Chains A and B, each alone.
Chain A
């Protein structure tokens, strides 16, 4: 089996993988980072979003082997120890989650959104940018609020 090496949450990792292994499988099964979820087979739900070299990527739609040498960040790598990342904190404070299944993908998407569109995000922008993230629980109301608040908080920190 071919070997793949990458950096995940700041740590170098490697593993022997079947060529078919998707990034999400590498994360969940090989590295046992189970915070990244799988909610569909058609690359539409966004439960699996992680960052690859800073970009939000659907880890269900990338081969692990393609990401040789990449810098990957998952939901597990966002908090600083027990100190939540401002976006995680914003989801908590705004009740932006219920069952929590879509949440890792939502938060990773949101953090990357801020990196592209800045700290002042209007409702319309946030809703449009969530095109690739489905949530069945919250009706999005509190997710949109959480992302706006998290974006502001990320700015205050910087």
Chain B
């Protein structure tokens, strides 16, 4: 790791002030992405602003059919929350499938969404559920939030404070894991709310998470596995690596989407 100055602010406002002051600084949430990156000397922040003391950023609230998860809420908390399990079981299951138990004990939803790793799971849930990302400055619709590989709409010194997910009628997330890293090679989140159906795909796209509008249209007409028969994800725009080429990813998107529709509840 390169050397850095360490800060542990007590309020979101202080954290935001520090973040604006130190243009090359980084917010630290669970550290499950940031620290490995720093250890491998792939990041060299001048300052680390540890959000560990920001207790206002922890917790889950379900109100009027909307599940609001504060940014510093750990994956384990979401996975085991009875309220989330009741309102959006697919979301709890997704959280329970991130990394391993020790990763889930530290990693946070805010860190995951802010990082927008193209193979991360939460971004798929955000898009498919039509989530809103709240920051210390504004509210951003998920559709506008994820702007590219590791790119988001967040500005300098902007801190995610919570994410709210309107509960769907039915949803499910199917993840096909990279056999080595266990991140998603393909993750498909399918959600149905009234007449609307959203299908979000993570792990596969060369510019990160995306919506599969073709599948959405077919499922809006008929929310059934058979509706996806004959529907194909084009290979163009998909990643290729040693574990999965674009053709395989395209195929898996179809398989995972069908499995998600079949399992949706």
Contacts and interface: CB of A to CB of B under 8 A. Distances in A.
A and B in contact, CB less than 8 Å: yes
Interface of A: 2, 18-20, 22, 41-44, 46, 49, 55-58, 60-63, 65-66, 68, 109, 112-113, 116, 129, 131-133
B48 A19 contact: yes
Given A41-B40, A58-B103, A131-B101, 12 more contacts: A2-B6, A18-B3, A19-B3, A19-B5, A42-B36, A55-B76, A58-B102, A58-B106, A61-B32, A63-B6, A116-B101, A132-B99
Contact of B35 (A62, A129, A131, A132): A62
B99 A61 contact: no
A113 B102 CA distance: 10
Contacts, number: 81
Contact of A61 (B3, B5, B6, B31): B31
A43 to B, nearest CB: 5
B102 A109 contact: yes
The 9 closest A-B CB pairs, nearest first, are: A132-B100, A131-B100, A19-B6, A55-B105, A20-B1, A58-B102, A56-B102, A61-B35, A43-B36
Contacts of A55: 76, 102, 105-106
B50 A66 contact: yes
Q: Among B2, B100, B106, B181, find the residue whose CB has the most chain A CB atoms closer than 10 A.
A: B100
A2 B3 CA distance: 13
Contacts of B6: 2, 19, 63, 65
Interface of B: 1-6, 8, 28, 31-32, 35-36, 39-40, 48, 50, 52, 76, 80, 99-103, 105-106, 181-182
B8 A46 contact: no
A20 B50 CA distance: 13
Contacts of A49: 102
Contacts of B52: 66
Contacts of B32: 43, 61
Q: Among B28, B32, B35, find the residue whose CB has the most chain A CB atoms closer than 10 A.
A: B35
13 contacts: A19-B3, A20-B2, A20-B3, A43-B35, A58-B103, A63-B28, A66-B8, A66-B31, A68-B8, A109-B102, A131-B100, A132-B100, A133-B100
Contacts of A43: 32, 35-36, 103
Contacts of A129: 100-101
